[in-house]
Amino acid sequence: MSKVTSVIEQLLIPIIDELKLELVDIEFVKEGRNHFLRVYVDTPEGGIDIEQCVQVSERLSLILDQEDPIEQNYYLEVSSPGAERPLKKEEDFQKAIGKYIYVKTYEPVKDMKELHGYLIAYTEQGLEMEIRIKTRKINIQIEKEKVAQARLAIDFSDKQI
């Protein structure tokens, strides 16, 4: 986590707690000539509405104007993490057990760096997924250190068009 995002997280915690929301992620990125501070929030049950995002945005804006922790000009965006919510914290993975996820690894696991499948288990060592290779389902272990990115995903494999 960068210095900016950790400072923003500390400013956000009281707002998130008061509104009984969950902080999913914070990004501070440069895209082209512009900087963006993106805050992703959700409810513990999952699903947030625009009014809740507006409340977080307005309250955070006031604090950011007072504290001024970011030197550059930037755009503040507060939104839902969406259906393909990132999995970063241990509790994110625990809540995702049994769900369909996408994992990108730093190095190949069973000759693959991108895996889609169901999260079977998550431990201190890593995670176990059930993936489909053609018509076979196999369980695969991925060490925590090898996970570059993980997020919920949508399973279209059993859907008919």
Closest among 77, 101, 90 to 27, alpha carbons compared:
77
Which part of the chain has CATH 3.30.300.70?
3-79
Q: Retrieve residue 46's tokens.
A: 């999952």
What is this structure's pTM?
Answer: 0.77
The 3-state DSSP class for residue 98 equals coil
Contact status, residue 100 vs residue 154, Cβ threshold 8 Å: yes
pLDDT at 47: 84
Which sign does the torsion angle of CA 71, 77, 25, 68 carry? Answer: positive
Residues across the chain? 161
Architecture of domain 90-152: Roll (2.30)
According to DSSP, residue 82 is labeled -
pLDDT at 36: 96
pLDDT at 158: 62
Rounded CA separation 124/136 (Å): 28
pLDDT at 46: 77
Distance of CA 134 to the CA centre of its chain: 28
pLDDT at 160: 44
Which part of the chain has CATH 2.30.30.180?
90-152
Amino acid present at 71 = E
Rounded CA separation 154/99 (Å): 9
pLDDT tens, per residue, the chain with 161 residues: 578 899 999 999 999 999 999 999 999 999 999 999 999 999 988 789 999 999 999 999 999 999 999 999 999 999 999 889 899 889 899 999 999 999 999 999 989 999 999 999 999 999 999 999 888 999 999 999 999 999 999 988 765 44
pLDDT at 133: 86
pLDDT at 161: 42
Q: Indicate the fold that domain 3-79 takes in CATH.
A: GMP Synthetase; Chain A, domain 3 (3.30.300)
User: Phi/psi of residue 90, each to 5°?
Assistant: -55, -40
Q: Around Cβ 86, how many Cβ atoms within 10 Å?
A: 16
